[in-house]
Amino acid sequence: MARTRHRSVRRIVAALAAALALGSLIVGGITLLLPSVDGSSAPTADGSSARTASTARATSPVTETPGSQRDDGPQIDQEEASAEADEFDRTRYSTTDPTSIWVVVNKKHPIRPKDFRPEMGLVRGYQVAGPVVAPLERLLADSDELGLGFKVASAFRSYDYQAGVYADTVAARGQVAADEVSARSGHSEHQTGLAVDLVTPDSPECDFEECFGETPGGRWLAENAWRYGFLVRYQSGSTAITGYRYEPWHLRYVGEPLAAELRRTGVATLEEFFGIPGGDYAEG
């Protein structure tokens, strides 16, 4: 009899242990919730059971970041899809405000006011507009590592300084020829501080000459200037549009987004991209 009672007690103890492990006990057809050792499944005030933290995490919705993947396959990168869907905003910056990196200055669109001077910084001793400083420094540093040895030959020019440059060119070449290579005062991109002329000491015979485009430096600029936000402004074959002959040494800063868009679309000039008249001076 004692052994029978002992076996019964062991059965009860085993049943209680199993009930504690499951968190519930059935008594007379009613399920009672039992607290776990750490109390994480303790009944709430209204008699319902509070979920453990691990259970809550397992059953709560999953918040995914763009481009993340789930077991049912790769998800679409929403940012990339949105960027591809959006057209390039050609109105983001002004094309007439001289402080804008997209300002278009040519023979039909002079700078206003004519005595405009940008806020400037220095790059290797030359004044350039503030937004140009860091990109130009990067371009020069990277090209130095490649052994190209670019030197800045010209950057910002004031209205009065440009008047002297133009007068000297007219005296040397005559006005018709001068207008192909030199801007009249108020019509020069250099006055915006966004333009720089580069030369390479290894090819002095091509300084400010079309053959600069065939030098290692000229070829590198043609392929890589856009990566730094620059445009080779006066391209071969675009004289009728820009008003100037081919100048592979003349860079114009427009910012990386626009430079990349011009590269992507194959548009060579700002006049064509923005639909702005160019060519010769209004009076002929």
Mean pLDDT over 189-206 rounds to: 96
Give pLDDT tens digits for 204-217. Answer: 999 999 999 999 99
Written in H, E and C, the secondary structure of the chain is: CHHHHHHHHHHHHHHHHHHHHHCEEEECCEEEECCCCCCCCCECCCCCECCCHHHHHHHCCCCCCCCCEECCEECCCHHHHHHHHCCCCCCCCCCCCCCCCCCCCCCCCCCCCCCCCCCEEEECCEEEEHHHHHHHHHHHHHHHHCCCCCEEEECCCCHHHHHHHHHHHHHHHCHHHHHHHCCCCCCCHHHHCCEEEEECCCCHHHCCCHHHHHCHHHHHHHHHHHHHCEEEEECCCCHHHHCCCCEEEEEEECCHHHHHHHHHHCCCCHHHHHCCCCCCCCCC
Contact at 8 Å (CB) between 90 and 106? no
Q: Could you give all domains of the chain from N- to C-terminal order, each with its CATH number?
A: 2-58 (no CATH), 93-274 (3.30.1380.10)
For residue 252, what pLDDT band results from cuts at 50, 70 and 90? very high
For residue 272, pLDDT over 50 is answered with yes
For residue 121, what pLDDT band results from cuts at 50, 70 and 90? very high
pTM above 0.85, yes or no: no
Mean pLDDT over 10-29 rounds to: 47
